[in-house]
Amino acid sequence: MAGETVLVVGGAGYIGSHTCLDLANKGYRPVVFDNFSNGHREFVRWGPAEEGDIRDRARLDEVLAKHKPAAILHFAALIEVGESVKDPVSFYENNVIGTLTLLSAAQAAGINAFVFSSTCATYGLPQSVPLDETHRQVPINPYGRTKYIVEQALADYDQYRSLRSVVLRYFNAAGADFEGRIGEWHQPETHAIPLAIDAALGRRQGFKVFGSDYETRDGTCVRDYIHVLDLADAHVRAVEYLLKGGDSVALNLGTGTGTTVKELLGAIEEVSNRPFPVEYIGRREGDSHTLVANNDKARDVLGWVPQYDLSEIIRSAWDWHAKSNQH
């Protein structure tokens, strides 16, 4: 499949840009389509960029006709859970209406291979851990619901319109390119690892832990951190799977290993050798105490096995934030 063009929608963002890097390394031609509201022009380094919004059907048609991609990778979503509660309309307009517009353009262009960036937030509060793909999906916030609605739409497109898709449900994306070319850069930043690293670097006043009385091994929440390059590898494998005629499928992307917040902060302090203030405050509404993936299906379908552990995640993130991301 090397040499094929792949349209990477939202390819100037965190996971999208790392996927462009992996696509290029494996011989594909990534074309970034991004409105740069959250993505960064500096991250477009492995193929051409086309500026546009997924709600703009005419612009999508123009770009698809110009580049004739064999597949589409869709990362362009609003992702901040707290913002989805404050402004659900924007999330529905972008994440749902925008994706349906993109799907219509893909169908009109004859593209039937579509990889969708979804989330473990579609599961809602876990009934059992680790979570596998048969777990019920009852999202508890507008962000998770918008992703779940698109998953349902993709199932209908598969059944009635012959558009095949791979839905990838992320757990906690983390880390950065080991060469420091790109990394995590959100405005505002809400993810635990960059926030804690910024505290260690003195860029913010300490780190707040939400809840220390959960029924976990040390009272803090447990999360499954997956290196962004492992996520990128799974996306490229998903493209290859679809281009070879694979059926539609939904897959978890996580390591299967849980890390508590206390353990995470200890690991960051060890890597940085810089202690930083930590404040324990009350629980945050809607937080699950444990989110860990069962990733057996991704291994079976894509042959995907995560390569990087927590220490490599933190080391690559530390190098990126300390040396490269001064913004």
The pLDDT, as a whole number, for residue 46 is 97
pLDDT, tens only, 64-109: 999 999 999 999 998 888 888 899 999 999 999 999 999 999 999 9
pLDDT of residue 324: 67
Specify the DSSP element, H or E, that contains 142. Answer: helix 142-161
What is the overall mean pLDDT for the chain? 94
Q: Which of 14, 123, 143, 148 is catalytic?
A: 143
Q: Does domain 3-173+225-253+296-300 have CATH number 3.40.50.720?
A: yes
Is 123 one of the catalytic residues? Answer: no
Please, which residues bridge with residue 249 across strands?
Answer: 166
CATH class of 190-221+255-290+306-322: alpha beta
The ranges of the chain annotated as CATH 3.40.50.720 are: 3-173+225-253+296-300
What whole-number distance in Å separates Cα of residue 106 and Cα of residue 103? 5
Are residues 91 and 143 in contact, defined by beta-carbon separation less than 8 angstroms?
Answer: yes
Provide the edge-to-edge strand list for the sheet that holds 259-260.
Answer: 259-260, 222-223, 290-291
Tell which residue, 305, 303, 166, has the closest CA to residue 246. 166
Mean pLDDT of 251-273: 96
pLDDT attached to residue 317: 96
The answer to whether residues 68 and 47 touch, using CB atoms and an 8 Å cutoff, is: no
Report the pLDDT averaged over residues 12-39.
Answer: 96
**Model pLDDT, residue 84:** 87
Residue spans in the chain of domains classed CATH 3.90.25.10: 190-221+255-290+306-322
Confidence band (pLDDT; 50, 70, 90) for 287?
Answer: confident
